[in-house]
Amino acid sequence: MNAKYARHLSVLGEEGQKKLSNATVYISRVGGVGGTAANYLARSGVGRLLLAHGGTLDAEYLNRWHLAHESDVGRPCVDVFKEEIARINSSVEVEVLGEHAKSIDDIKAFANEADVIIDAAPMFEERYNNNLLSQMLNIPMISGSMYAQEGYVMSFVPGETPCLSCLYPEKPEFWVDRHVFPALGTGPGIIGCLLANEAISYIAKGELQLKGKMLHYDLTDMDFNKLKIEKDHQCKVCSA
């Protein structure tokens, strides 16, 4: 077993580590949240990462993006991600889609071999597409989001739990533009670590600690709560 993963073995065992090395994870948006998840999944030895993210790197991303540096400003985001992950762990296969998850047909073709979906998109249009993809392909989805110093992490399993649309049948009115909400750099990092931890637990052990639940935290007072998500039996996505 590769020495890079030696400290994993007492937690995951050799079989669990082998499962990681054979796994494919699709990550939608690879910024502060998704980039942190990608960072730790690469370090954990996940075999293949499918990364969907459009645009070029802007300086304002640097307060929270673990996979970016000042010298990367102005470059295509996916080029930066591929290079940085190769530096972290050259054994990880990385495939990129240089656009956001705005077309269900595009992301279905790109992510159809994934074992788990990590939804780290800030916009609900993309999150709804990831949720639909999860249901269509029968792939568990781990979803994380943040606003200022608050964060949310949830895990959805098609046929077993509610889905994202049960919780948010319509886009919240306040969530109008990813450029306007505040983001303290530590918040996305915390969420990204939790997303990676859930994905590792699912791949290596078949366990999701947040299956059908929402973990909410507020860093202003270090308050963490876990809440059950109720299924909407009229949901147009998972109850149709």
Confidence of residue 46 (pLDDT cuts 50, 70, 90): very high
- Out of 24-33, 63-72, 109-118, least confident range: 63-72
Domain locations along the chain: 12-228
pLDDT in tens, 129-167: 999 999 999 999 999 998 888 899 999 999 999 999 999
Angstrom distance (rounded) from CA 48 to CA 114:
9
Model's pTM, two decimal places?
0.94
Pairing, β 213-218 against β 150-156: antiparallel
d(CA 94, CA 195): 18
Please state which CATH class domain 12-228 belongs to: alpha beta
194, HSE (Cβ side, Cα atoms, 13 Å)? 26
Task: Return the SS3 of 182.
Answer: coil
Handedness of CA 78, 48, 178, 66 (dihedral sign): negative
